Structure 1
């Protein structure tokens, strides 16, 4: 004699709970089979980096140190710039907009004036690139938009004296070592603004 037993059956009628069914999007292929769409997180495959010389290893380690040092400033700039844009969009009064820009500038100066002044030239170049990566605008464009064309020209002139270019754009292919450091150390993987 064969007998069957059922688990979690109440009075021979199965009751479905809230979490018994999971709905997913599906696609029907050429053979009529249903293929579910299940979103997965991005998986990054990184190989062990092999350096040809000890100097190459040292240069990469220095770049990594510099990127990780200036990245928080670039992220702060992105957040503060987006908050400023939201505030500027709420008002049409030019005097109020100037007050908001000055308040933003003062906040940034009070927070980071000493740290930014103590940056090396290389860290400054990386910061300029990362600000472009984070905001989508070069440093020159940001200054021109917020402070005017003449001020942007003056800042660009001073930056050129010290070997910088505020108009420099971030290119993830050209600056792949910087992008590699950002992704590898868990900041975020997608370019441009996340």
Structure 2
């Protein structure tokens, strides 16, 4: 609320200054003022205690997997650059993928094994969000079709589908939490997807 009051006061001051200049028969002046972006978050009521618990639990799980999400996103960007490098042949690409897989395994294998199913599902969804690609296709491209089918079966058993692109409007709770944690929707998503997300009336308060 303080941000709104300060912004309103500034606009009032500028308006008064403009009026005084006109009364003094001064020449017309165009004022150019660049104001900082102000985010105002109002407290909202939860629909019920179940929604409150689900939101807080999901937020906690996401904070625990952020190191793996960041590492996976970085790895994807490196793999994508390598795959699209015209100077890299298929053998070199497979060797690069294997080396990066070993690197991740050495660094995170023990921690990832301790994730529960909900955290695993969230990690896969958020990797899809951050990369903007179809995870099933990614597995088939970087690994092999058998691996893609195996993980698709796991995903379907846990209630989601790897063989489709992440849709922000289908995950309003995740989007609220990720935005609040400093992970805005990546640039790969188009304006239509952003508009669909903005038009949703969901009662998840930001902190």
The TM-score normalised by the length of structure 2 is 0.66
> 1:29 aligns to what?
none
Verify: 1:51 aligned to 2:51, yes or no.
no
> 2:79 aligns to what?
84
> 1:123 aligns to what?
119
Distance in 1 (CA, whole Å) between partners of 2:172 and 2:97 is: 33
Distance in 2 (CA, whole Å) between partners of 1:41 and 1:143 is: 42
Asked if 1 retains the 8 angstrom alpha-carbon contact of 2:133 and 2:166, the reply is no
Q: Larger relative CO (CA 8 A, sep 6+): 1 or 2? A: 2
Asked if 2 retains the 8 angstrom alpha-carbon contact of 1:128 and 1:138, the reply is no
Distance in 2 (CA, whole Å) between partners of 1:175 and 1:192 is: 17
Verify: 1:69 aligned to 2:57, yes or no.
no
> 2:146 aligns to what?
150
> 2:9 aligns to what?
none
Q: Alpha-carbon deviations, 1:122-153, whole Å to 9, x = none?
A: 21221121111111113212111101223211
Asked if 1 retains the 8 angstrom alpha-carbon contact of 2:152 and 2:161, the reply is yes
Asked if 1 retains the 8 angstrom alpha-carbon contact of 2:132 and 2:188, the reply is yes
Verify: 1:181 aligned to 2:148, yes or no.
no
Gaps of 5+ in 1: 1-31
Asked if 1 retains the 8 angstrom alpha-carbon contact of 2:121 and 2:158, the reply is no
User: How far has the Cα of 1:76 moved from its partner?
Assistant: 1.6
Asked if 1 retains the 8 angstrom alpha-carbon contact of 2:97 and 2:142, the reply is yes
Asked if 2 retains the 8 angstrom alpha-carbon contact of 1:51 and 1:57, the reply is yes
Distance in 2 (CA, whole Å) between partners of 1:53 and 1:76 is: 35
Root-mean-square deviation (CA, aligned residues, Å) is 2.7
From the CA coordinates, give the structure whose radius of gyration is larger: 1
> 1:23 aligns to what?
none
Verify: 1:114 aligned to 2:116, yes or no.
no
User: How far has the Cα of 1:54 moved from its partner?
Assistant: 2.5
User: How far has the Cα of 1:62 moved from its partner?
Assistant: 0.4
Asked if 2 retains the 8 angstrom alpha-carbon contact of 1:134 and 1:192, the reply is no
> 1:21 aligns to what?
none
Q: CA separation of 1:43/1:169 partners in 2, compared to 1, >3 Å: closer, same or farther?
A: farther
Q: Which structure: greater helix fraction?
A: 2
SS of 1:66 mapped into structure 2: helix
